[in-house]
Copies of this chain bind each other. A is one copy, B any other.
Amino acid sequence: MLVIKLGGTEGVDFAAIVRDVAALQQAGEPLVLVHGGSAEANALGEALGHPPRFVTSPSGFTSRYTDRQTLEIFLMAVRGKVNGLLVEQLQQAGVNAVGLSGLDGRLLQARRKGAIKIIENGKRKVLRGDYTGKITDVNVNLLRLLLAEGYVPVIAPLAVSEKGEALNVDADRAAAMIAAALGAETLLLLTAAPGLLRAFPDERTLIRRMSMAELDQAMEYAKNRMKKKVLAAREALEGGVGRVIIADGRVAEPVRRALAGHGTLIQGRV
């Protein structure tokens, strides 16, 4: 079982990923795809006069502040367009993909944050009315039901709160939770970089292999979005996933290359 997280639409080559996915599926590999879509959501928000607002948490993570209007923009751009176009490309390649979000069938259940703590101009503030969440449960039965019939689930990073509200969730961490719930052998995080770099952005400092024990240290030198991938890697490995690979999604044959040893390989407990 392989879970692949694709970036949104920035730089990552959907067509090349789709070709690899089609070949793997024909070879009988059960697959689940999880995607992002921030770039599309940002562009749609700008076009509709409601640009994104990014906030930084006290622990240094950057995330999107998701008011209700932003959530609806996210539904349109990510659940509607990015997911739909990816399913369409997979169908064109002969892969019987089924697009889902975490809202559907309560696939990803999350605890709504509601109020988030942020740092703004060096000061701590609390922002209310936020529609983001932290995933607590995965409805793995729905995924197994579809996988058993040969469908490839393609999952948009939304979740459902206990009250049934749609929530925006981080796609890397969603992929990690899904991989853990499925007991996947491999979680592949494709990104617009060759892997985890010890001295970003110097690509010569690519880390080829690391152990779970080294992830704490990696949180120190991981920059920007890569922090979330390191966190996702830890969550996946702690959840029982065999290995996490962080690899380049911008190259030809990105999935094959990653499985053949390119990128950063993080081994779980053996």
Contact = CB atoms under 8 A, between A and B. Distances in A.
Interface of A: 44, 47-48, 72, 75-81, 83-85, 87-94, 96-101, 103-106, 141-142, 145-146, 149, 151, 158, 160, 163-166
B81 A72 contact: yes
A154 to B, nearest CB: 8
A192 to B, nearest CB: 23
Contacts of A47: 47-48
Chain A binding surface, main DSSP class: helix
Given A44-B76, A80-B80, 17 more contacts: A48-B48, A72-B81, A77-B80, A79-B79, A80-B84, A84-B158, A85-B166, A88-B103, A91-B103, A92-B163, A92-B165, A96-B105, A98-B100, A98-B105, A105-B146, A141-B149, A145-B146
B91 A164 contact: yes
9 contacts: A72-B85, A75-B81, A84-B101, A91-B160, A92-B163, A96-B105, A98-B104, A105-B151, A142-B151
A104 B93 contact: no
Contact of A99 (B48, B91, B104, B151): B104
A97 B142 CA distance: 12
Contact of A91 (B76, B83, B100, B106): B106
Nearest to A106: B96
A137 to B, nearest CB: 13
Given A84-B75, A85-B75, A164 B92 contact: yes
Contacts of A75: 80-81, 84-85
A106 B90 CA distance: 11
Q: Which A-B residue pairs are the 5 nearest by beta carbons?
A: A80-B80, A92-B164, A91-B164, A76-B76, A76-B80
